[in-house]
Amino acid sequence: MTTKSDIRFTRPLYTSAEAARIVGVPPSTFASWAKGYVRRRSGKRDVAGAAVVTALKAPSQMPSIPFIGLAEGLVLAAVRKSGVPLQRVRPAFDVLARELGVEHALASKRLYTDGAEILFDYSTKPRRAGAAEVGELVVVRNKQRVFTEVVEQYLRRLEYAKDGYARLLHLPAYTRADVVCDPERSFGSPIFARGGVRVDDVLDRFQAGESLEDLADDFGVPSADLEDALRVASRRAA
């Protein structure tokens, strides 16, 4: 597959901080995913980690994360929420990229359809680097090999194009509203699936004094969805 002309891979849409807010992790966490990190330890060897989400070259403070990097970040956010430290599961994702034979494995549908079985097979092979860590991502229920529930739930928030890569992302922070990121609409900004308006535009007009009823009428977004968006925004601002 070529990604040279696909805006999901080539168009920088988000700063690292914006991507962090969308997937629900601290900005410093997403920055380390996008740029890698080196931790200096007095009297000990430095600890380093390579970048794990797709980022493009860009001037400081300018968007550098394409949509595909945001999708990768969503999956990593699920791993983080599961409680397994990323440095312990990096070997697992290295295995997936190699065994699946695809670039951007974290944003590929094959992570969902084939990945669990690959991880299980890998985790059952004794004394291989990363085996125990991989095992923590996989559970066995009724002889089925599946991701842990939290990772599976996040993966279901991705919709995939015919090429098998993510094309739409349903944000996990909302309980009532369906808020999505679509690289083909509003430059990838979060929008209400019903109404198609940018969430930030609605919040700006509410903060300027307009009522939820008027906004619902203007944008075709149910009042309950608007209230959900306000709840999420206020929680982030706290």
DSSP letters, 43-57, are: TS--EEE---S----
| 163 and 192 part of one domain | no
pTM of the model: 0.85
Residue 175 scores a pLDDT above 60: yes
Q: Are strands 191-192 and 179-181 parallel, antiparallel or unpaired?
A: antiparallel
The one-letter amino acid code at 10 reads T
Which band of pLDDT confidence, cut at 50, 70 and 90, is reported for residue 229? very high
For residues 85 and 133, state if they share a domain: yes
Q: In this structure, is residue 2 part of a structural domain?
A: no
For the ranges 52-66, 142-156, 177-191, 199-213, the lowest mean pLDDT is seen at: 142-156
Mean predicted confidence (pLDDT) in 126-150? 54
Mean pLDDT of 213-236: 93
- The torsion region of residue 91 among left (phi > 0), alpha (psi -120 to 50) and beta comes to alpha
**108 within a domain of the structure (yes/no):** yes
Share of the chain above pLDDT 90, in %: 53
Comparison of pLDDT for 216 and 237, the residue scoring more = 216
> Are 34 and 146 contained in the same domain?
yes
Half-sphere exposure of 168 (CA within 13 A, CB side): 14
Query: How far apart, in whole angstroms, are the C-alpha atoms of residue 130 and residue 122?
Result: 9
Number of domains in the chain: 2
| Span 55-104, pLDDT tens digits | 999 998 899 999 999 999 999 998 888 777 777 777 777 777 777 788 89
Query: Do both 113 and 166 map to the same domain?
Result: yes
Mean pLDDT over 142-153 rounds to 63
Residue 135 pLDDT level (bands cut at 50, 70, 90): low
pLDDT band at 182 (very low <50, low <70, confident <90, very high): very high
What are the Cα distances from residue 79, in Å, to 42, 83, 129, 138, 188?
Answer: 29, 7, 19, 11, 23
